Amino acid sequence: MSELCVKEIKLIAEHLVHYERLDAAFEKLDEALGCTADSPLFKAVWECFEDHTKVVAQLVGDREGWIEWYVRENECGAKGMAAGYDGVVMPVKTLSDLVRLIEIGRARA
């Protein structure tokens, strides 16, 4: 199996920290200034984050888009959604769970 190296796992972890910081900052901006998802600033920043997500995914071999799914749909594991392949799914609640999912996908390629 093609396992992610420490550098790749650190890259994903750092990316998730960036997400949490951006999310918290925009929450404060929304409270203070009404900076909603429709604002040009919000759109510009989050488009850059989405591009960064794609670059990180490419660097770590996430061909299935699991990092994007983990952040957007699974709310960084807070929803505890299940994912997997060929009907075999597992809850994805932590970075370790996400890494395992990416490793399974890389081994399938």
Task: Please write the tens of the pLDDT for every residue from 17-40.
Answer: 999 999 999 999 888 888 787 889
pTM, two decimals, is 0.90
As a whole number of angstroms, the distance between CA 5 and CA 79 comes to 27
Query: Domain for residue 87, yes or no?
Result: yes
Q: Which domain holds residue 27?
A: 6-108
Query: Domain for residue 1, yes or no?
Result: no
Phi first, then psi: give them for residue 84, nearest 5 degrees: 170, -155
- The count of domains in the chain is 1
As a whole number of angstroms, the distance between CA 78 and CA 47 comes to 23
Query: Domain for residue 70, yes or no?
Result: yes
Expressed in angstroms, the distance from the first to the final Cα of the chain is 10
Task: Please write the tens of the pLDDT for every residue from 48-69.
Answer: 999 999 999 999 999 999 999 9
- What pLDDT, on a 0 to 100 scale, did the predictor assign at position 3? 80
Asked if residues 60 and 102 have their Cβ atoms less than 8 Å apart, the reply is yes
